[in-house]
A and B are shown apart, each in its own frame.
Chain A
Amino acid sequence: MNEFLLVGGMFLVTFLVRYLPFGLAGSLQIPEPLERALRFVPVAVLMAIVAPAVLIPQGDSVQFSWQNPHLLGAFAAFLAGWWKNNLLLTIVVGMAAFFICRLLIGRF
């Protein structure tokens, strides 16, 4: 593994996608429908990352079960978020629920 090429390549592609719209900011006009579609981006992207992380924690099969602390922790985080609109509380409750379930279930 050539780490220098790996890090250099990862840097280039990551910076490119972050910078491209900013770099063209002077000449780029966003059409109104695209702007409306973009409002769904954070929810769609983050849920696409979270769903497999929570439901396929081992990376092989879907674990839709009460024995899965990732699922229970995510459920607790959602409830906390809906109950009080407080980011810190949501994260802390989710993580606490995850670790408690993990201790009780004693696996993963």
Chain B
Amino acid sequence: MNSTPQTEFWKGVRDTFPLIVGAIPFGIIFGTLSESGGLSLWGALAFSAVVFAGSAQFIALGMVSTGAAWPVIVLTTFVVNLRHILYSTTLLQQVRHLPQRWRIPLAFWLTDETFAVAVRYYAEPSPIIHKHWYYLGSALIMYFNWQLCTMIGIFFGRVVPGLEEWGLDFAMSATFIGIVVPYLKNRPMIAAAIVASGLSLALHGLPNKLGLMIAALAGVATGFFLEKRLASNRMTEVGEAQ
């Protein structure tokens, strides 16, 4: 089948559907909690429309409710979202050929979910020529869904009592686990996951979610060095066998 911008776009939308299922409850609970957290209606809508970063919005909302000053919340947002610099570095090779009018919106719409589906699609051997349309399709459906769910959450938060007690935030954990499991195929990946989880728990008390970033970097380093060691062991074995 020939790929056209249109077929790629819709394939991106379709492949993102499972992640939408997890994003729906998460977006709704953000909208629901926004009022009791202390955001105005417009503030809540602007969080989703302008910042568009699920877990960071959630953490920032928690800080607003405890009365943190805005520069501290901005700094925490920066730390929590630093992972996107790693995502966009990973995708760099794939967008290098695109003009800025593509790169700017694709960067704005970069999320965990779109990264997860796009990086998998770019790894497929099919030609790259229209793959940015796939990325765009995934990004736009995520964005559209996030705005809609925020509004639904704001509305239902005021109508349905106790909605914030339902534990809808678990949807984020389920989604992220769904993204992670396919990667856990070899020892370095599993070690990276275990180290990142363990350190993140141990350093949970650090201010401004710094523990999250340290744990993530330690996980990456563990995977990287373990893979290197396993590779050099294999080389030695091959050398001895010859």
B28 within 8 A of A: no
Q: Is the interface of A mostly helix, strand, loop or mixed?
A: helix
Please indicate the chain A residues that have their CB under 8 angstroms from the CB of B201 in the complex: 51-52, 55-56, 62
Please indicate the chain A residues that have their CB under 8 angstroms from the CB of B46 in the complex: 3, 7
- A51 pairs with B198, CB closer than 8 A: yes
Residue of B nearest to A33 (CB): B224
Please indicate the chain A residues that have their CB under 8 angstroms from the CB of B196 in the complex: 43-45, 47-48, 51
Please indicate the chain A residues that have their CB under 8 angstroms from the CB of B182 in the complex: 81, 85, 87
User: Which size class do A's interface residues fall under?
Assistant: 35 or more
Please indicate the chain B residues that have their CB under 8 angstroms from the CB of A87 in the complex: 18-19, 178-179, 182
Contact of B39 among A3, A54, A56, A88 (CB under 8 A): A3
The tally of residues in B whose CB lies under 8 Å from a CB in A reads 97
Instruction: Using CB atoms and an 8 Å cutoff, list the residues of chain B in contact with chain A.
Output: 17-19, 21-22, 25, 38-40, 42-43, 46-47, 50-53, 55-56, 60, 64, 70-71, 73-75, 77-78, 81-93, 95-96, 100, 103-104, 106-108, 110, 112, 115-116, 119, 167, 169-184, 188-189, 192-193, 195-201, 204, 211-213, 215-224, 227
Please indicate the chain B residues that have their CB under 8 angstroms from the CB of A104 in the complex: none
Instruction: Using CB atoms and an 8 Å cutoff, list the residues of chain A in contact with chain B.
Output: 1-3, 5-7, 9-15, 17-23, 25-26, 28, 30, 33-34, 36-56, 62, 69-70, 73-74, 77-78, 81-82, 85-88, 90-92, 94-95, 98-99, 102, 108
Task: State how many angstroms separate the Cβ of A90 from the closest Cβ of chain B.
Answer: 4
A-B contact pairs, 13 of them (CB 8 A): A6-B74, A13-B78, A18-B108, A23-B104, A38-B86, A50-B173, A53-B173, A70-B173, A74-B174, A77-B174, A91-B175, A94-B177, A98-B170
Please indicate the chain A residues that have their CB under 8 angstroms from the CB of B103 in the complex: 19, 22-23, 25
Closest 3 CB pairs of A and B: A44-B219, A81-B181, A94-B174
CA distance A42 to B113 in the complex (A): 10
- A78 pairs with B181, CB closer than 8 A: yes
Task: State how many angstroms separate the Cβ of B201 from the closest Cβ of chain A.
Answer: 5
CA distance A39 to B180 in the complex (A): 12
